[in-house]
Amino acid sequence: MMTRRISAPALVLCAIALGLATASPAAAGSDDKKVAVAIKEYAFSPAAITVPKGTTVVWTNNDETPHNVTTSGKQFKSPPLDTGDSFSWTFSQAGSFTYFCQLHPQMTGKIEVVP
């Protein structure tokens, strides 16, 4: 009775656990260090990224439902993002940041900021 269908978010979480979804670090030293994370079908994509310090991450909501970006460590919280809205955050410190959607906490993501 407990066998569950594997949903897309579950696969994403598995991918995080296996380290498969970690993107390559963005071009270090670039003047315009921006990395995009899409919000689509109740998931952050890519769900895990590694970026150099100073990178600005831009989340854009492509769903018809509002979402937001809230870090587990409460470093920042975006306002609710309606369809098409974006939110940016510049990571000036190295470290590991896990985040989720305040409306749908099953949506999680991770940013690894390297020196």
Binding footprint of another protein on the chain (CB under 8 A): 1-5, 7-10, 13, 41-43, 63-66, 68, 72, 79-80, 82-83, 98-100, 102-106, 108
Nearest to 42 by CA among 88, 70, 16, 10: 10
Shortest CB 27 distance to another protein, Å: 29
66's tokens: 């509002």
Asked whether 110 and 46 are in contact (CB, 8 A), the reply is no
For residue 106, the minimal CB distance to another protein (Å) is 4
- Is the CB of 32 or the CB of 64 nearer to another protein? 64
The least distance separating another protein from the CB of residue 80, rounded to whole angstroms, comes to 4
Nearer to another protein, 31 or 64 (CB): 64
Give the number of residues written for the chain. 115
Residue 9 vs 54, nearer CB to another protein: 9
Contact 56, 86 (CB under 8 A): no
Shortest distance, CB of residue 81 to another protein, whole angstroms?
10
Q: Please state, in angstroms and rounded to a whole number, the distance separating the CA atoms of residues 107 and 1.
A: 25
**Closest CB to another protein among 4 and 32?**
4
Q: How far is Cα 67 from Cα 29, in angstroms, rounded to an integer?
A: 31
